[in-house]
Amino acid sequence: MSNVKHILLSLLKVVPQVVATILVPSKVALVAVFIFWLADAITGIWASVHVRHEKFTSNGLRRGTAKLIVFLAAILLADLFGRVLGFDQVLAAVLPVSVGSVKLMAFWIIGHEAKSIGENTTAISGSGANPFTFLAKLITGVTTKVVPQEAPKDDQQP
């Protein structure tokens, strides 16, 4: 019995070290994604309960927790693709800036959460002054704006 106990204690000492070794390269991204997810959850609950007068249910919190697990798994898969399968080298060859797959995935997730936080703060404030929506409209307006060309006037012949 003491032999089994010794083996279990040894495993309990080794498993956290293995997990830490896997998570160390993407630790900053995991923490950043968690912080943005938490801010989105807080503003979402606030907007839902106090502004839209919806009932707070565990189903919504369950969906939010599942979303966090998917986000963290995406960061870890991006790290796996980047380090093990060499996707970071492909990104370095294609992109002009040094961006790893973990940073790219974290940037996408944080952008998604920031947009959601902006929508929630707009609902809470009751005004249409959402900086994220304004920025999105500004960017899309600039990139899709077509400058009309003047038609030649009747008295001007080419």
- How far from the centroid of its chain's Cα atoms is residue 53's Cα? 27
Encoding tokens for residue 98?
């040094």
Residue 49 structure tokens: 């309960």
Quote the tokens at residue 72: 């963290």
Q: What is the pLDDT of residues 19-45, one digit of tens each?
A: 666 666 678 888 889 999 999 998 888
Q: Is residue 36 within 8 Å of residue 114, measured between CB atoms?
A: yes
CA distance 33 to 90: 24
Write out the H or E segment, with its range, that includes residue 41.
helix 27-46
| Residue 144 in this model has a pLDDT that exceeds 60 | no
| Residue bearing the bigger pLDDT, 90 or 16 | 90
Band the pLDDT of 143: cuts 50, 70, 90.
very low
Mean pLDDT (whole number) for 138-142: 59
- Domain limits, the chain: 26-131
* Average predicted confidence (pLDDT) for the chain: 77
Contact (CB, 8 A) for 46 and 117: no
Question: What is the token pair recorded at 92?
Answer: 């370095």
Q: How many CB atoms within 10 Å of residue 62?
A: 10
Q: What is the pTM of this model?
A: 0.64
Q: Give the pLDDT band (50/70/90) at residue 50.
A: confident
